[in-house]
Amino acid sequence: MDRSPAEAPVARLRRELGLRDALAIGIGGTVGGGIFTLVKVAADAAGPAALIAFVLAAAVSVLIALPYAELACRLPVAGGGYAFAREVLGERWGFAMGWIYWGGYLLASGYVTIGFGEYLHAACGLPTTVGAVGLVTLCTGINMLGARLAGWAQTCVLLVAVAGFVAFALWGLGDVGTATLTPFAPHGVSGVLLATPVVFLAFGGFDMVAAAGEEIRRPERNLPRAILLTLAVVLGLYLLVALVAFGTTSTQVLGSAASPLADAARGFGGEPARWMMLGCALLTLAAATNALLMVTSRALFAMARDGLLPRRLAAVEQGSGTPRTAIAVDGALLATVALTGTVSLAATAGGFLYVLHFLPPLLALVRLRRDPAAPAPAFRTPLPRLLLPLAFLAVVGMLVATGLRGATTGLAWLVLGAGVYGVRRALGGRDQGPGRGSRTSPTSTGGGAAGT
């Protein structure tokens, strides 16, 4: 039987990642899947008006990112939102948050891995599933070797990928015309609202930085900077690339193509532009998969370390300092999703859970702010009386916008999680209040992490 968190030795991860590495995790986990694969789902839903959905999704992301940055400074530990909910709200909320967070990224990973397989198929004819599973296998091996190697690989890939995005935008900007932008909103306001949660999923990545908080040096400084810089860089890239894509290529082509941005590039730049975007897509989708594997495996690690999942998942390999068992299990599950899903299904199934996972951290921040014993963090959310209620309303609105399919899938995952938690309690686990038996209480995170 697994020991309770209070009785078990605490396993800690090494702080080896700087601001550059953290930013690479955030950008890599964001730009790869969203702009290359979800653009075709958004095109189907809203037509060229998907550009408005990008702006709306960015605004919602900023509303959530500001309190998330404050939480990351208060609790710079592995697990991100799971750790926030576990430390502040208690075990039940922690398990629910961890289960939602892990499930959201696990199910949504298909749009990244399958998207990679589709672009690889367009480049060389290799079957989509072979490319997708092969990528997961490669990323699993890299993560096994240590966080520093994974962060270094992420940085190198993204430098090339971002250059490709800029080249795509500059190359095609002169060919943007009104013909492909008309009609601008063929499905009206409802189409924009339907596309917004899909596009919001494309902005997912800033929370990945928080999930790796226990491995980031000077977290009180680097975490908020990495989170906010991630959103700023990604928004700029998305708007440029989306404008060129919708302004040069019909939404019918974008919505039906296996490699939509490569097909758009061929329209204004011929085969050289198409091959440039194929290469850029493969690099960024690979970077996104690497980031997904890194943060979801840390969520498993954090839950196991707290006794909410089997303790073996919390084992840390002495040589590399990485949770190899959690990485291996998570890699196998990502490969399973790649084998069995589609881009559209992944976006729908993961979208509801991804949006839902922001609610518990927001509740945790409200509770921390009311705790007089909690130290002031290095970063605080500006205008909290305005922005925090808006963040709650934005999350609820996005949940409604995901529709019946997303809600049904999400609720099924929650029911499965309730069964897992019930079995764990039946085997001898005990409920704990906020902060008890955990690594870092809310009142002790102000200075300790900073000096690490």
Residue 311: pLDDT above 50?
yes
| Across 148-162, 235-249, 287-301, 396-410, least confident range | 148-162
Q: How confident is the model at residue 2 (pLDDT cuts 50, 70, 90)?
A: very low
Give the 3-state secondary structure of 186-245. CCHHHHHHHHHHHHHHHCCCHHHHHHEHHHECCHHHHHHHHHHHHHHHHHHHHHHHHHHH
Q: Alpha-carbon distance 435 to 121, whole Å? A: 49
Burial of 197 (0-12, 13-18, 19+ CB in 10 A): buried
Whether 6 maps to a domain, the answer reads: no
* 204 or 13, greater pLDDT: 204
Give the per-residue pLDDT at 13: 59
Confidence at 390, pLDDT banded by 50, 70, 90: very high
Predicted confidence at residue 34, as pLDDT, reads 64
CA distance linking residue 403 with residue 191, whole number of Å: 12
Which of 164-168, 258-262, 402-406, 427-431 shows the lowest mean pLDDT across its residues? 427-431
- Least confident among 8-12, 163-167, 307-311, 434-438: 434-438
Give the C-alpha separation, 73 to 65, whole Å. 12
Residue 162: what pLDDT?
78
Residue scoring higher pLDDT (75 or 139): 139
Counted domains in the chain: 1
Round to whole Å and give the CA distance between 69 and 356. Answer: 18
> Looking up tokens 């672009």, which residue turns up?
119
CATH number for 304:
1.20.1740.10
Q: Measured between alpha carbons, how far is residue 182 from residues 48, 199, 249, 283 in Å? A: 8, 21, 11, 32
**Confidence category of residue 38, pLDDT binned at 50, 70, 90:** confident
Q: What is the mean pLDDT of residues 60-76?
A: 81
- Residue 367's nearest CA partner among 130, 88, 140 is 88
Q: How confident is the model at residue 3 (pLDDT cuts 50, 70, 90)?
A: very low
Q: Write down the pLDDT at residue 27.
A: 76
Task: Please give the average per-residue pLDDT across 413-437, as a whole number.
Answer: 72
Mean pLDDT of 159-175: 85
Look at 10 and 152; give whichever has higher pLDDT: 152
- What is the reported pTM? 0.73
**pLDDT given at position 320:** 65
Q: Is 130 among the domain residues?
A: yes
The band of 210, judged by pLDDT with boundaries at 50, 70 and 90, is low
- Does some domain include residue 444? no
Sorting pLDDT into bands at 50, 70 and 90, what band is 127? Answer: very high
Q: Structural domain of residue 276, as residue ranges?
A: 19-426
At 360, list the tokens. 């518990």
Does 200 map to a domain? yes
Q: Is residue 213 part of a domain?
A: yes
* Average pLDDT value over all residues in the chain: 79
**pLDDT recorded at residue 447:** 32
**Mean pLDDT of the 34-50 span:** 81
The candidate with the shortest Cα–Cα distance to 349, out of 278, 302, 411, is 411
pLDDT bucket at 449, cuts 50 / 70 / 90: very low
Cβ-proximal residues to 420 (8 Å cutoff; 6+ apart), any chain: 99
The predicted model gives 382-397 an average pLDDT of 90
What is the tens place of the pLDDT at every residue in 312-330? 888 887 766 778 888 999 9
Give the pair of three-digit tokens for residue 177.
């015309």
Query: What integer pLDDT is reported at residue 191 of this predicted model?
Result: 87
Q: Is residue 7 part of a domain?
A: no
Span 73-125, pLDDT tens digits: 777 665 567 777 888 888 888 889 888 988 888 888 888 888 899 889 988 88
Q: How far apart are CA 260 and CA 47, in angstroms?
A: 14
What is the pLDDT, as a whole number, of residue 393?
92
Half-sphere exposure of 223 (CA within 13 A, CB side): 35
Query: 182-191, 203-212, 373-382, 437-446: lowest mean pLDDT where?
Result: 437-446
* Range from 205-209, 307-311, 444-448 carrying the lowest mean pLDDT: 444-448
Q: Which residues contact 232 (CB under 8 A, 6 or more apart)?
A: none
pLDDT at residue 159 in the model: 75
DSSP annotation of 377: P
| pLDDT of the residue at 441 | 38
10 in any annotated domain: no
Percentage of residues of the chain with pLDDT beyond 70: 81
The reply to whether 11 falls in a domain is no
Higher pLDDT, 350 or 29: 350
Range with the poorest average pLDDT among 21-35, 52-66, 382-396: 21-35
The model's confidence at residue 332, banded by pLDDT at 50, 70 and 90, is very high
Residue 270's alpha-carbon distances to 39, 217, 263, 275, 429, in angstroms, are 21, 45, 9, 9, 61
CB atoms within 10 A of CB 96: 22
Of the listed ranges 30-39, 103-112, 332-341, the least confidently predicted one is 30-39
> What pLDDT is attached to residue 203?
82
pLDDT: which is higher, 194 or 15:
194
The pLDDT of residue 448: 30
